[in-house]
Structure 1
Amino acid sequence: MLPTELLMFRVRGGVVEPKRLKPTPGNLQLAQTLIRTFEANLGKRRADLDEDLRVLAAGRPDFKVLRGMAHLLSNGSSTFETGGHAEPSLVRKKVFELAQAHPPSRLRRDLVLEQAARSLSNECPLSAEDVAAALYADLPDQQTLTAFDPPEPQALIERWDLAQAQGVLYRAYSLILTARPNEPARYKQLLKYTRFFGLMLTVEGDPVHGFTLTLDGPTSLFGGTTRYGLALSKFLPALLHVTKWDLTATLKPRRDLAWVDPKDEEWQFGLTSEDGYVSHYPEPKEHDSALESGFSERFVKLETAWKLEREVDLVPVPGGVILPDFRLAHTDGRSVLVEIVGYWRPEYLRKKFDLLRKSGRQDVIVCVSERLNLERAGVDPSDFDERLVWFKGVLNPKEVLAVAERLTAELPRP
């Protein structure tokens, strides 16, 4: 994320357009120069780094771009730590205590530092110079750059671009996300991201025609909440791993900018999966949990006419969507869905079983960990008895296959 003063955008006809950088030789050189500046300051104080950056930005017309990139490097690629061998708060306490016993003078300062060094040397030897250095070593500008993971210049430019778009979303009060007809796994991935980042939404549509997700933005909630705005901004890099989508956000205009048209009551901001933004988040894992991964690994070792499929259609349900973990497909055309319920909060369990009931689907095998306290969560799974598989620790594929055979035994073959 970038602070508000480092965001760069323009508004044309009520539409917000974040600034984007092209990977020109000049921009790549700027990114490389910044990266080398951070590398040259390894082992030095943040104050020294800030001074180098100040000199670098002086007189440059693109100083906001430089400061934005530097902010991203400081907060995403750098590790700053308090240096020295003594706890600054303890050093300050001892020095201030000793200073009260001496009249003000240059000699007094040196004497106090030497006395403090002797007094604090019980755990490790300290000199007067060590004490002086430790006095305010925990202040941000006195911390030491202890590690730096340099990105490629191109990656830094891409990260800056995305940070501008994230900053715009931070002020949104409503968003409409359209997931176009897509692979089922992409829908599932998208909905899992919204849940992971704690976003509130309603879902309409189906896997054939696509889904429309309406999300509440941060400024629509009780006058605006920083936490939700941050979650919404963090959601964008995850969304970039999903294909075929369009996003429209409605924003409150910034009244602190002199060039803003006072007649503007709202702004619009649009994004699509084809806009070329690049995510700095790692690619999502194939499986969402060790339970799913372990089940899949054990299944492939079996000799069976059933095939375990990860690409599963979503099941629309009034009030939500069911995202089955797997499908079991038999060579003769029979199939069932598999939902694994592992370690989750009571609220999640209640919603999960409520959606399963609303779906009316009788072809969903529900695998439940015995470690879950369903009774305490207010969940009664008795109406799923025919389709329940209880497990401890690991889920046995043979038990799931046995239920699949029983459920589909009377079904006509395609």
Structure 2
Amino acid sequence: MLPTELLSFRVKAGVVEPKRIRPTPTNLALAESLIAAFEGHIGRRRSELDDELRALEAGRADFRVLRGLAHLLTQAGEFEAGGPVEPAFVRERVFALAQAHPPSRLNAARVLEQASRSLSADSPLSPAEVQGALYADLPDQQTLVAFDPPTPTELLQRYDLAQAQGLLYRAYSLIITARRNEPARYKQLLKYTKLFGLMLTVEGDATFGFTLTMDGPTSLFGGTTRYGLAMAKFLPALLHVTKWDLTAALKPRRDLAWVDPADEEWHYGLTSEDGYVSHYKPPDEHDSALESGFTERFARLDSPWVLEREVDLVPVPGGVILPDFRLVQGERSVLVEIVGYWRPEYLRKKFELLRKSGRTDVIVCVSERLNLEKAGVNPSDFGDRVVWFKGVLNPKEVLERAERLAG
């Protein structure tokens, strides 16, 4: 992401909008030259790279864009202290030897020579190499040892997204409307809300869409942007959801002279149509062989029921569950949750959430191989909504249960 000082945005009537960078030939050429600069400095010190970046920046009106692109490329690189000996060890040896000599240029050379002979027992070093190793662990003295270059287009896309993320640093509330989506998209969405510690409430249904509200009250997080940072990290996951819109409430920046001091709150909006590109890995189509096998066997049946994957978000006290499937026939529908091979802790949580949901339209398919007794789970709580299976889940049995439940 971009630091605050590199963000470019405008505010009008309390609505904030990031300035985007288009893939014009000029911008693509700039991205290409920056990528080439990083590639050309592999094995060289960061200070040398910084010198070249300053040279590229000289006289440019868009220097903030260049710095932002370079910042993102730095995150794609790996910098390490160069040399065969730890700089801290070299400093300790040199400073110890220097105690016996008054400060002077001649004595400095003598100390480096003595240190060279002393350190050569561990690894041969010339006096010049000793001098270079003294502060090789400082950021500007570190060596670029690896670099995973994006394409120029990818770099511009990443910059656009980083600008959008940067605005969310100051967010304390997000409201997302997510409509019917491709399989596995909701599950990834929930995975990242949990990963980043976002507090979530859910309303709605699979037909008309869900409203997800994420709040980070300042009373809980103080005056920091900790919750806003979590929301910013969450944004690339949201981009994998196929149909959505987002509104955010932000704290105005008071450090900018052009900001209207009367602004008490800024608003920021995004939609799935805005063309941002995520750098997070897309979710897999199926979570397990059980789910993919069930889908394949169901497709071979001649059934009036339609099988949909992961289209329902079911709110429960203290969380949200996402059933694996939804079976639909006209106005009738039931949910299907497959419980396969999991740890006892997972089983306890899974069944507890299902129980708390209070939903009576969920078919729970349970593998007979699971040690539910060890997990402290009693599936009889779900009555005739439980379908037992051994190695393979038979879709015909699930359909028979759906007919009874749907009425």
TM bin, normalised by shorter chain, reads: 0.7 to 0.9
- C-alpha contact (below 8 Å) 1:174/1:220 kept by paired residues: no
Q: Deviations over 1:324-345 (max 9, x none)?
A: 235699xxx9987233366579
Q: Where do residues 7-86 of structure 1 align in structure 2 (5 Å cutoff)?
A: 7-75=7-75, 77-86=76-85
Q: Deviations over 1:64-118 (max 9, x none)?
A: 000000000001x211111100011111111111110112222211221122222
- C-alpha contact (below 8 Å) 1:202/1:215 kept by paired residues: yes
With over 3 angstroms needed to count, the CA separation of the structure-2 counterparts of 1:220 and 1:404, relative to structure 1, is farther
Q: Deviations over 1:28-87 (max 9, x none)?
A: 111111111112212110011111111211221100000000000001x21111110001
Q: Distance in 2 between matches of 1:372 and 1:144?
A: 56
Deviation at 1:12, TM superposition (A): 0.6
Q: Distance in 2 between matches of 1:188 and 1:363?
A: 19
Q: Deviations over 1:207-251 (max 9, x none)?
A: 011100110147563224444332211111111111110100000
Q: Where do residues 142-221 of structure 1 align in structure 2 (5 Å cutoff)?
A: 142-183=141-182, 185-217=184-216, 219=218, 221=220
Equivalent residue of 1:101, what SS? coil
Q: Distance in 2 between matches of 1:194 and 1:187?
A: 11
TM-score normalised per structure 2: 0.85
Q: Where do residues 355-370 of structure 1 align in structure 2 (5 Å cutoff)?
A: 355-357=353-355, 358-361=358-361, 363-367=363-367, 369-370=370-371
Deviation at 1:161, TM superposition (A): 0.8
- Worse-matched range after superposition: 307-316 or 224-233: 307-316
With over 3 angstroms needed to count, the CA separation of the structure-2 counterparts of 1:117 and 1:287, relative to structure 1, is farther
- C-alpha contact (below 8 Å) 1:173/1:220 kept by paired residues: no
1:229 paired residue number: 228
Counterpart pick for 2:391 among 370, 382, 397: 397
In the alignment, structure 1 segments of 5+ residues that lack a partner are none
TM-score normalised per structure 1: 0.84
- Worse-matched range after superposition: 335-344 or 249-258: 335-344
Amino acid at match of 2:36: R
Q: Deviations over 1:182-223 (max 9, x none)?
A: 446443443333233321110000001110011014756322
Q: Distance in 1 between matches of 2:291 and 2:373?
A: 18
- C-alpha contact (below 8 Å) 2:176/2:247 kept by paired residues: yes
- Worse-matched range after superposition: 29-38 or 166-175: 29-38
- C-alpha contact (below 8 Å) 1:218/1:224 kept by paired residues: no
Q: Is 2:132 the counterpart of 1:141?
A: no
Amino acid at match of 2:262: K
With over 3 angstroms needed to count, the CA separation of the structure-2 counterparts of 1:212 and 1:335, relative to structure 1, is closer
User: Over aligned residue pairs, what C-alpha RMSD do you find?
Assistant: 3.6
1:114 paired residue number: 113
Q: Is 2:131 the counterpart of 1:132?
A: yes
With over 3 angstroms needed to count, the CA separation of the structure-2 counterparts of 1:126 and 1:249, relative to structure 1, is same
Deviation at 1:265, TM superposition (A): 0.3
- C-alpha contact (below 8 Å) 2:82/2:136 kept by paired residues: yes
- C-alpha contact (below 8 Å) 1:81/1:144 kept by paired residues: yes
Q: Deviations over 1:343-370 (max 9, x none)?
A: 5795x76653233112234522245854
Amino acid at match of 2:141: Q
1:257 paired residue number: 256
Amino acid at match of 1:51: D
How many pairs does the alignment contain?
Answer: 399
